[in-house]
Amino acid sequence: MNDTIAAIATPPGEGGIGVIRLSGNLSPTILARLFKSASGKPPRRFLPQRVYFGEIRDPGTDLCVDEVLAVYFKAPRSYTCEDVVEISSHGGPFVVSKILRLVLDAGARLAEPGEFTRRAFLNGRIDLSQAEAVADLIAAASDAALRSAVAQLQGQLSARLTAVYDGLLGVLTQLEAAIDFPEEGLKLQGPDALLRQVRGAREELDGLICSYRQGKIDREGARVALAGKPNVGKSSLLNALLKEDRAIVTPHPGTTRDLIEERVRVKDIHINIVDSAGLRHDPEAIEAEGISRTRAALARADLTLLIFDGSQPLGPDDDLLVQEAEGKSCLMVVNKSDLPEKLETRLLRARFQDRELIRISARTGAGMDRLIDAIHQSVTQGRRAEEPAPVTRERHREQLRKANDALDKAGDSLEKKLSEELIAVDIQMALDSIGAILGKTFAEDLLDQIFGQFCIGK
């Protein structure tokens, strides 16, 4: 990391401003070579954390390229903990690219995707989970996703994991002391005390693992499947939720034969709504393939809306729907409330005693506010915004599971009074897994995978 990197930090295309970012030892030198103040002279030196107004000039022609604002951040008080310069120009693509070319000609090289954040991690400004949170913050498309990303960036997850890591490191130190100095008469904690620490660590990690379902919904949105027999009004409900005509609505059953997936914001989260082929006995061959995909969509859904036609009595196809809903998180929705009701809702309530039944009319909009509230309550499980940030990434959950598996083995060995060497191996495995989340241990290919998801200027 001895070289100086540069990249355009703003999105491509025309805009009000464009930002060129530099990081590395040559950053202030390159700025001094290209920048002249409003008086036409370069500053004697650039003071950190000050904004300078002036021009970027082409050294080859001494012609002004653009009027800019320039800021110098002196190491280590910068995003990367290196000397950083940011040049803000007008946002025309040609102008911004021209300034970047002058910067590269002056001694910088073009940054790789995510290289600025990678340097922030490698220089110790942030840990690996916080670096991942930067990407999540940029990609956040809902209030819930934003809250989770900010909390992780501020170190909430890191603090909890570091506390567990430090506690287990203390356990490992005790074990290694007993292994290396058995004759020294050291005052070490007994197996029962170590077991309590191991179990406490496992309980903390288990809580983080359990938070992943909600964290994934915060970050990616909840998958909500619409299920019901043909012509029950699933496509009409999709259109009502989207507030636009996305799906074709006809009086003929079996119109929807493939999955339609659309995203909509529901309060502070995103919902990925999946409209699917109607479930019924003895469908046509093409429709049968759609029903097969419907079943797969129901299996992946975080919540299923079981939609019944309130203007018709329960039939065999409704029974099929009820069977498909067994063991799934679902809401009962009775559509067509604007028509005389012929549905035996008491039978539904008897079958789904703990499920809410909501009457709506997708055509008139009646009951839609209540349905939206119920969807939000179901997928968030009533979680409040001030609760601790959940685990949002599959990589983190898998490492936590590995850590807990190792702690289970260590706990069993402590209970059975097995050798310190065996216990120490499992504690070290747990530490390695937690360290992989924080970036205490990492492989270069993992960093390439994580930071390769960033844009070039971040």
Look at residues 380, 410, 431 and tell me which one is the last residue of a structural domain.
Answer: 380
Choose the weakest-confidence range: 88-102, 185-199, 303-317, 430-444.
Answer: 185-199
Look at residues 103, 122, 141 and tell me which one is the last residue of a structural domain.
Answer: 122
More confident residue, 81 or 454: 81
Q: Quick check: is 385 in a domain?
A: no
pLDDT value of residue 286? 47
Q: Are 185 and 231 contained in the same domain? A: no
Q: Are 10 and 39 contained in the same domain? A: yes
Residue 252 has pLDDT above 50, yes or no: no
Q: Are 365 and 282 contained in the same domain? A: yes
Q: Are 87 and 222 contained in the same domain? A: no
Q: Are 333 and 235 contained in the same domain? A: yes
Q: Are 164 and 280 contained in the same domain? A: no
More confident residue, 321 or 303: 303
Q: Find the farthest-apart pair of alpha carbons in the chain and give their distance in angstroms, rounded.
A: 87
pLDDT value of residue 291? 64
Tens of pLDDT, residue by residue over 102-149, are: 999 999 999 999 999 999 999 999 999 999 999 999 999 899 999 999
pLDDT value of residue 146? 93
**Token pair of 370, please?**
């209540």
Strand partners, 22: 6, 85
Q: Quick check: is 366 in a domain?
A: yes
Tens of pLDDT, residue by residue over 261-288, are: 889 988 889 999 988 766 655 555 444 5
- Radius of gyration of the chain, Cα coordinates, nearest whole angstrom: 29
What gap in Å lies between CA 142 and CA 13, rounded to an integer?
A: 24
Total number of domains in the chain: 3
Q: Are 207 and 222 contained in the same domain? A: no
Q: Angle at the Cα of 453 (from 448 to 458), degrees rounded to 5?
A: 95
Q: Are 238 and 371 contained in the same domain? A: yes
Dihedrals phi, psi of 118, to nearest 5 degrees:
-60, -40
Look at residues 86, 106, 122 and tell me which one is the last residue of a structural domain.
Answer: 122
Q: Quick check: is 267 in a domain?
A: yes
Could you please report the per-residue DSSP string of 16-70?
SEEEEEEESTTHHHHHHHHEEETTSS--SSPPTT-EEEEEEE-TTT--EEEEEEE
Q: Quick check: is 454 in a domain?
A: no
Q: Quick check: is 452 in a domain?
A: no
pLDDT value of residue 382? 67
Q: Quick check: is 429 in a domain?
A: yes
pTM of the model: 0.84
- Which residues, other chains included, contact 36 with Cβ-Cβ below 8 Å and sequence gap of 6+? 42, 54, 55, 57
Question: Quick one: DSSP state of residue 391?
Answer: P
β-strands 109-110, 5-8 pairing: parallel
Q: What percent of the chain has pLDDT over 90?
A: 59
Range of the domain at 342: 217-380
Confidence bin at 351 (pLDDT 50/70/90): confident
Whether a cis peptide bond, with omega within 30° of 0, leads into 182 is no
Q: Are 68 and 179 contained in the same domain? A: no
In the chain, the amino acid numbered 391 is V
Q: Assign residue 337 the CATH number of its domain.
A: 3.40.50.300
Q: Assign residue 98 the CATH number of its domain.
A: 3.30.1360.120
195-214 average pLDDT score: 95
Q: Are 181 and 234 contained in the same domain? A: no
Q: Are 206 and 348 contained in the same domain? A: no
Q: Are 226 and 374 contained in the same domain? A: yes
Q: Yes or no: say if 294 and 275 are a contact pair by the CB < 8 Å rule.
A: no
Tens of pLDDT, residue by residue over 360-398, are: 999 999 999 999 999 999 998 866 666 778 999 999 999
More confident residue, 355 or 3: 3
Q: Quick check: is 406 in a domain?
A: yes
Q: Quick check: is 446 in a domain?
A: no
Q: Assign residue 156 the CATH number of its domain.
A: 1.20.120.430
